[in-house]
Amino acid sequence: MDVVSPELNSLLPDEIMDTEAIVMEDVPASQPDGTAVQSESGDDVPIPMETDTPVVSENLSFCSDASSTEHTQALTTSTITDSMLSISSESQLPLTLSSASSSLLTLKPTLATSTATTKTTDSSASSSTQAVKQEGQKFLVRTIGKSGQPIVFQLPSTGSKPGVGQASGDAKSQAPQFKVVTIGGRTELKPVIGSTASQVPTPTPQVKTVQITNKTQVSSATPIKFIIANTVNSKGLTAQRSTNMQICENTVFCNLYHVILSFSLNTLSLLSLALFQNIKPLQSVAVGGVSGSQFKTIIPLATQPNVQQIQVPGSRFHYVRLVTATTGSSTGQTSGPSTSSIQPAKPMVVNTGAVRMSVPIVQAQTMKQVVRKPLTSTAQVVTTSHPQQRLIMPATPLPIQPNFTNLPPGTVFAPAPGGGNVGYAVVPAQYVTQFQQSPYVTLASSSGFPACSGIQSQARLPLNGLSTAETTSRPRKPCNCTKSQCLKLYCDCFANGEFCNNCNCNNCFNNLEHETERLKAIKTCLDRNPEAFKPKIGKGKDGESDRRHSKGCNCKRSGCLKNYCECYEAKIMCSSICKCIGCKNFEESPERKTLMHLADAAEVRVQQQTAAKTKLSSQISDLLMRTAPVISSGGGRLPYTFVTKEVLEATCECLIEQAKQAELSHQPQAQAERLILEEFGHCLMRIISSAGKAKTDCASINC
């Protein structure tokens, strides 16, 4: 039984579904039965984000569980304040991991190159091991780490963390000059950004009094004094947002409860009975939807037998695969990432002859330094002067020369083995996810280098301003490009550094088959705007307070209260850098408040309805439990047994909820009545289903 139908969820616009904790906090009081409110805020583990100070890093320790034939690997993550990434592979399974930390990642071990023979006997293994060619073939893997030693990636300690205290690019960091800007009804101070030379964080003025001229359309030419207190948070306003939903007190529906209660039990029961006679006995409807798993979050941790990616719950990053292979010493049959059913259960102090790794291009804090740590001749950690991203890649010059720190998020350069002519595949974030099934040959042929080269597991940066849930769970909305070949920033897939997948685009070049063109397009975009693939929305640490659009919007007609506006779309308010006209997307905007109220209301409505349905279901199931013996003992009066006071009340709640909803959406009365009746039908069906289930159960017991 669907307690919460999928349709229900889709009823709401996104912004409602992603309501922030503030909204949620208001809710429980209005929950009719105290049903737990699902709130994402609770389990919001600090995740290293692309922004700001690398306050938190992750300690990942990976230990491939050799005893499992399924190749599942234990992954433990814990959040600590200092960063240490240790990897120990006890078998030659391909390990997948990455550090989602924002700290500089330093590879200590030295490199070696080795060959290994792999043997994949298991289809699932081969599908997940793109680095490995077909059965029995030799391949080269670049190795990191001395054989026989666990590889430890030591991240710099907190003390040496660069960029701590660096301002997040907010205007606050600028010298506190302001110019007066008046936009629509909003008078605003826009910081005058004179020269970009100084990025030195300027102490934030706590209170600044500026005299500006209000030249709003309201015609007031009176000078106003503005007190600008940067630290003032107007959360109070938000908190005031009422979620009181007792809005329909005064209508006909308010009497519904009594009306329905006045339904005699018999009437209801008769109605039920009539329907009950017709139901198929095997209509196996799960009674008591609460017992189902619809409220559980199923964490897809290591869902696939062969770990290619590890998805750490709560983390938006996919994790990078380390492919371990044997060194030359363990010649031949040490089985590499093979699936030979005999797993060496002994601790093999990392036979990590070969490790290839890539690191999610997370946004690190500003590090105005170039760190070049040549580990070997073939690989190094490169941290460019661009503060935000880093890659591990070969030292060989790139065939294309964009500032590779600005490549599309998740892009990984996969070095081809053998040094010399190194080819690169620029693979977007979702490559592994999107194309895990596709034959690896495709990549090899299209990118023109040996097939063994690719390890492209990669993380994806959070989408611009979108929530974690959206980023990680919700699949990207398919694009519909027709003219851009999905190689312009018009295409959201391309703009997010992803391949098109399940899109509706025509003439799409945003795929592996057109890697060349794609590369070229990426280069073009970067030439035009080096920041083209960086997230546009900075991510504030404390909720949304310092999130802002990097460029600001430029809206003219939407009032910045429609999804046309990038700020609004990202659920942030317009800021001083926006160049919008007639903006209504600022804190005190009454329009914005109205909108939020509506959103809140809708949110609460849905939750109440959900709660009501849950309650009904649980009561039915409860009833089922309690009355099962009675039924089996031979009573033929099922409907009477089931329509009890509790069920009746729960039904009423559902109906009232429906009534409220109808009224709130201003349905005409006839329509409202129809909706309520339909809901009543649904309720009845639930009751009947329960009864039917009970009956069949009893029947089967009796047989």
Partner DNA sequence: GAGTTTGAAACT
Partner DNA sequence: CAGTTTCAAACTC
User: Which residues contact Zn ion (rule: CB under 5 A)?
Assistant: 479, 481, 486, 491, 493, 500, 503, 505, 508, 510, 553, 555, 560, 565, 567, 574, 578, 580, 583, 585
Q: Tell me the two tokens of residue 294.
A: 């619809």
> Residue 175, interface with DNA (CB under 7 A)?
no
Q: Which is nearer to DNA, 179 or 556 (CB)?
A: 556
CB of 192 to DNA, least distance (A): 14
CB of 562 to Zn ion, least distance (A): 9
Could you tell me which of 207, 240, 246, 243 has the C-alpha nearest to residue 225? 207
CA gap 159, 168 in Å, rounded:
20
CA gap 311, 320 in Å, rounded:
10
Site string for DNA, 458-477 (x = CB under 7 A): -------------------x
> Residue 284, interface with DNA (CB under 7 A)?
no
> Residue 257, interface with DNA (CB under 7 A)?
no
Q: Which of 368, 557, 645, 674 binds DNA (CB under 7 A)?
A: 557
Strand bridging mode 84-88 / 57-64? parallel
Strand bridging mode 371-374 / 111-117? unpaired
Q: Tell me the two tokens of residue 179.
A: 């110019």
Strand partners, 401: none
- Tell which positions 516-535 bind DNA, by CB under 7 A: 524-525, 528-529, 532
Could you tell me which of 262, 268, 259 has the C-alpha nearest to residue 640? 268
Q: Which is nearer to Zn ion, 546 or 653 (CB)?
A: 546
> Residue 346, interface with DNA (CB under 7 A)?
no
Q: Which is nearer to Zn ion, 498 or 653 (CB)?
A: 498
Q: Tell me the two tokens of residue 473.
A: 């769970």
> Residue 189, interface with DNA (CB under 7 A)?
no
Q: Which is nearer to Zn ion, 510 or 617 (CB)?
A: 510
Q: Which of 551, 571, 593, 695 binds DNA (CB under 7 A)?
A: 551
Q: Choose the one of DNA, Zn ion, none that binds residue 528, judging by a C-beta under 5 to 8 angstroms depending on kind.
A: DNA
Within 10 Å of residue 433's Cβ, how many Cβ atoms? 19
Q: Choose the one of Zn ion, DNA, none that binds residue 498, judging by a C-beta under 5 to 8 angstroms depending on kind.
A: none
Could you tell me which of 589, 508, 490, 569 has the C-alpha nearest to residue 183? 589
Q: Which helix (H) or strand (E) holds 673?
A: helix 669-702
Q: Which is nearer to DNA, 506 or 669 (CB)?
A: 506
> Residue 594, interface with DNA (CB under 7 A)?
no
Q: How far is CA 589 from CA 212, 237, 540, 549, 596, in A?
A: 20, 11, 22, 19, 11
CA gap 391, 413 in Å, rounded:
8
Q: Which is nearer to Zn ion, 384 or 558 (CB)?
A: 558
Altogether, the residues listed in the chain come to a count of 703
CB of 258 to DNA, least distance (A): 38
Q: Which of 405, 558, 589, 658 binds DNA (CB under 7 A)?
A: 558
DSSP secondary structure of 463-517: PTT--HHHHHTSPPPPP--SSSTT-STTSHHHHTT----S---SS---SGGGHHH
Q: Which is nearer to DNA, 215 or 556 (CB)?
A: 556
Per the CB < 8 A criterion, the answer to whether 546 and 523 are in contact is no
User: Half-sphere exposure (CA, 13 Å, Cβ side) for 446?
Assistant: 20
Q: Which of 362, 392, 522, 555 binds DNA (CB under 7 A)?
A: 555
Q: Which is nearer to DNA, 432 or 555 (CB)?
A: 555
> Residue 193, interface with DNA (CB under 7 A)?
no
Q: Which is nearer to DNA, 541 or 562 (CB)?
A: 562
Q: Choose the one of Zn ion, DNA, none that binds residue 583, judging by a C-beta under 5 to 8 angstroms depending on kind.
A: Zn ion
Site string for DNA, 385-424 (x = CB under 7 A): ----------------------------------------
Task: List contacts with DNA (CB under 7 A).
Answer: 477, 479-484, 486, 488-492, 495, 524-525, 528-529, 532, 551, 553-558, 560, 562-566, 569
